[in-house]
């Protein structure tokens, strides 16, 4: 299956949902595969994200929705996670960061690919779904956005594959 490129005009959206790992910060490659940072020295902003945020207009609201199962697995301390989120909030204008600390075994509604986190934000801020765009780097992100009935775009990486007929981008700045 090949990636199908479709142009997304980010100016059509007021509310931008972002996955965290792989979109805002670099993912960490461990023996078990792609992972989240577990310590401050591993938390590094993606240069493409910095450039994207510099180029985006101030009229957008940004929301981060992120699975963080390493909390449940005992591999990440929640205080460290909140420190990462404080770094994000001090550096960029983010309306809300919401995370799911659960693992698949918990079968919660907040863990992507379920739309719980997205729907909670849409309800809390009374957002119009047609004005929302989700930017993610995984199939779970795309499934969550689809289930929440909002548009989505996949950031193509060396660790993911195309997803259905949803659009993709090579770089976040391509959305500007």
* CATH code where residue 129 lies: 3.40.50.1000
In a domain, 43, yes or no: yes
Residue 5 resides in a domain: no
Give CA angle at 45 (40, 48), nearest 5°.
170
Q: What is the pLDDT of residue 3?
A: 44
State residue 1's pLDDT score.
35
- In a domain? residue 125: yes
pTM, full prediction: 0.94
Range(s) of the domain holding residue 25 = 10-175
Angle at 148 between CA 144 and CA 166, to 5 degrees: 60
Is 153 inside a domain boundary? Answer: yes
Q: What gap in Å lies between CA 4 and CA 29, rounded to an integer?
A: 27
Please check whether residue 98 lies inside any domain of the structure: yes
Q: What is the pLDDT of residue 163?
A: 76
Cα(144)–Cα(152) distance, integer angstroms: 9
Q: Could you tell me if residue 71 is inside a domain?
A: yes
40 inside domain: yes
The pLDDT value given to residue 63: 98
pLDDT for res 7: 66
Q: Is residue 3 part of a domain?
A: no
For the chain, strand residue ranges (E) read 15-18, 28-30, 33-35, 61-67, 96-100, 132-136, 151-155, 168-169
Averaged in consecutive runs of 10 residues, what is the pLDDT profile of the chain (176 residues)?
A: 60 96 96 90 98 94 97 95 98 98 93 98 98 97 97 93 84 93
Number of domains in the chain: 1
pLDDT score at 22 = 97
């Amino acid at each position: 299956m090949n990636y199908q490129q479709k142009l997304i005009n980010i100016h059509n959206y007021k509310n931008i949902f972002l996955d965290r790992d792989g979109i805002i910060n670099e993912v960490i490659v461990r023996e078990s595969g792609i992972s989240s940072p577990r310590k401050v020295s591993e938390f590094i902003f993606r240069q493409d994200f910095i450039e994207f945020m510099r180029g985006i207009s101030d009229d957008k609201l940004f929301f981060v929705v992120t699975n963080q199962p390493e909390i449940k697995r005992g591999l990440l301390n929640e205080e460290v996670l909140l420190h990462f989120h404080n770094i994000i909030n001090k550096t960029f204008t983010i309306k809300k960061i919401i995370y799911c600390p659960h693992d698949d075994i918990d079968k919660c509604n907040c863990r992507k690919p379920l739309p719980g986190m997205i729907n909670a934000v849409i309800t809390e801020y009374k957002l119009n779904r047609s004005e929302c765009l989700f930017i993610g780097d995984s199939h779970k992100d795309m499934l969550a956005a689809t289930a929440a009935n909002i548009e989505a775009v996949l950031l193509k990486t060396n660790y993911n594959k195309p997803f259905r007929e949803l659009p993709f981008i090579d770089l976040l700045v391509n959305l500007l």
